[in-house]
Structure 1
Amino acid sequence: MSLILVTGGVRSGKSRFAEDLARDAAQDVLYVATGKAWDDEMARRIELHRERRPDTWGLCELGGRLSESLDASKGYSVVLLDCLSTWVSGRLMDIPEQAWRDESITKEIVGEAKAWLDAVAQTNQTVIAVTSEVGLGGVAMSRLGRWFADILGDVNQQAARQADTVYAVIAGLPWRMKG
């Protein structure tokens, strides 16, 4: 197994870079989409990603759990998950406000990411995981925003520790940080 983590800010070019890595690595690629069309703008972003991908790639649209991608990825040599940060935000959007910052929910989400990373480590596939880096900005103004940053920070650190290769993409330029 080879885990490649691609991180960067929003609109940094990280998804396009990860798609290029996947395209260069193999023809049998499974694209694991974590985004949900919450509104028209998000629907357009999802459509732009679809238009960029080769028609030959498989597609797994997650319904919420990272583990859904494990069965779907059987038979593919490359799996591209785009992205962990959108997955975390989707999970948090399903939590009622009175439960925000609940430690058991935090542990559940971080644990789910860890279980997925551990399962990925047992495969013979190349897995490319995209995520946003939220640690370079200020502290979020809202309680939900701070919770998101805390959880995503933990998930990103786990993924970076476990990854063989880590890239940071800034202004469309990839920088190899590990591997």
Structure 2
Amino acid sequence: MTKSILITGGARSGKSALAERMTLTLGEPAVYIATAEAFDDEMAARIALHRSRRGPEWRTVAAPLDLAGALRDSDGGAPRLVDCLTLWLSNLMLADRDWEAAVADLCALIPQLTAPVVFVTNEVGSGIVPDNALARAYRDAAGLTNQRMAVACDDLWLCVAGYPMKVK
């Protein structure tokens, strides 16, 4: 049986660092499945910061759109860390892909996986209501994605100000 973990929290809550530590406790080497793309200097700097934290025990796989494919291709061995679901979701929405079908496929895939996987996602629904339709649609989609993933995963963690709390 696989071990699937979902870690959520706000921006700079410590969720990625927690996910990296948890993944390495599941085995080394590990696979880092990155969903981010560096479309500007600021995002390139964020990606570089994440890479600088990881050592030689990590192998990176880029999966900005085909997350399920990356999980299937990397299954059967090392534990995987997906960072992050909300960037993957925004990639799908901006590419005009059917995000609901992609999330359903991902949730259906999780119990079939043989190697552990840790997912990171942002909690985006705790702030103010966005002032434009695209931002509201994204916030709603992220909330629904997180709910569906929380059901599909074995464990759920919430990170607040660097402190993790097990929810499920």
Mapped pair 1:2 → 2:34: no
Superposition map of 1:25-64 within 5 A: 25-64=26-65
Report the Cα distance in structure 1 between the residues aligned to 2:114 and 2:95, rounded to whole angstroms.
33
Residue 92 of structure 1: CA displacement? Answer: 2.2
Give the CA RMSD over aligned residues: 1.4
Q: Deviations over 1:51-106 (max 9, x none)?
A: 111222121101412223124313433110000001111222334xxxxxxxxx5x
- Partner of residue 77, structure 1: 78
Q: Deviations over 1:141-178 (max 9, x none)?
A: 11111011111111100000111110000111001000
Report the Cα distance in structure 2 between the residues aligned to 1:93 and 1:61, rounded to whole angstroms.
17
TM norm structure 1: 0.88
TM norm structure 2: 0.93
What letter is aligned with 2:108? D
Report the Cα distance in structure 2 between the residues aligned to 1:34 and 1:41, rounded to whole angstroms.
16
The 10-residue stretch of structure 1 (164-173 or 65-74) with the greater mean CA deviation from structure 2: 65-74
Mapped pair 1:171 → 2:155: no
Structure 1 residues without counterparts, runs of 5 or longer: 96-104
- Partner of residue 118, structure 2: 128
Aligned length: 167
Q: Does structure 2 conserve the Cα–Cα contact (< 8 Å) formed by 1:37 and 1:46?
A: yes
Residue 24 of structure 1: CA displacement? Answer: 1.7
Q: Does structure 2 conserve the Cα–Cα contact (< 8 Å) formed by 1:7 and 1:167?
A: yes
Cα separation, partners in 2 of 1:64 and 1:3, compared to 1, 3 Å: same
Residue 138 of structure 1: CA displacement? Answer: 1.7
SS in 2 for 1:80: strand
